[in-house]
Chain A
Amino acid sequence: MSEILEKPEVQKIYIDARGPRFSASITTIVLAIALVTQNKWVIVAQGLVFLIGATRGPQFTPYGLLFKNLIKPRLKKEAPTEDVRPPKFAQAVGFGFALVAAIGAFSGASTVFTVAVGFALAAAFLNAAFNYCLGCEMYLLIVRFTSK
Chain B
Amino acid sequence: MLQVASLCKCVATTRVQAELLRLLLANLSVATPWPLCENTLVNSYLPLVIVLALASAYGIWWKRSRGAIRSNKAIPGHRLTEAVLGEPLGSRATMVQFSSAFCAPCRATHSLLSQMVIPMNDVKHIHIDAESHLELVRELDIRSTPTTLFINKDGIEVGRAAGTPKREQVLAALDAIR
Report which A residues bind B (CB closer than 8 A).
1-2, 4-7, 10, 17, 32, 35-38, 82-83, 85-86, 89, 114, 118, 121-122, 125-126, 129-130, 132-133, 135-137, 139-141, 143-144, 147
Contacts and interface: CB of A to CB of B under 8 A. Distances in A.
Contact of B144 (A35, A36, A114, A140): A140
A4 B101 contact: yes
Given A2-B114, A35-B48, A133-B104, 20 more contacts: A2-B110, A4-B127, A10-B101, A82-B104, A83-B102, A83-B104, A122-B58, A125-B59, A130-B60, A136-B102, A136-B105, A136-B146, A140-B130, A140-B131, A140-B143, A140-B144, A141-B143, A143-B100, A143-B130, A147-B134
Interface string B41-58: 000110110111011101
Nearest to B143: A141
Given A86-B103, A136-B104, A2 B127 contact: yes
Interface of B: 44-45, 47-48, 50-52, 54-56, 58-60, 62-63, 99-107, 110, 114, 127-131, 134, 137-138, 142-146
A148 B58 CA distance: 31
Contacts of B56: 125, 129
B96 to A, nearest CB: 13
9 contacts: A6-B101, A35-B47, A85-B102, A86-B102, A139-B145, A140-B100, A140-B142, A141-B144, A147-B134
Chain A interface main SS type: helix
Contact of A36 (B48, B102, B105, B134): B48
Contact of A129 (B59, B102, B145): B59
B62 A89 contact: no
Contacts, number: 105
A107 to B, nearest CB: 16
Most buried by A among B45, B63, B104, B144: B104
B51 A118 contact: yes
B144 A32 contact: no
Contacts of B50: 118
Given A82-B104, A118-B51, A136-B105, A126 B134 contact: no
Contacts of A125: 51-52, 55-56, 59
B105 A133 contact: yes
A143 B134 contact: yes
Given A83-B102, A126-B55, A130-B62, A36 B44 contact: yes
A137 B58 CA distance: 13
B74 to A, nearest CB: 18
B55 A32 contact: no
B103 A135 contact: yes
Contacts of A122: 51, 54-55, 58
Given A140-B137, A144-B138, A7 B101 contact: yes
B124 to A, nearest CB: 14
A6 B129 CA distance: 11
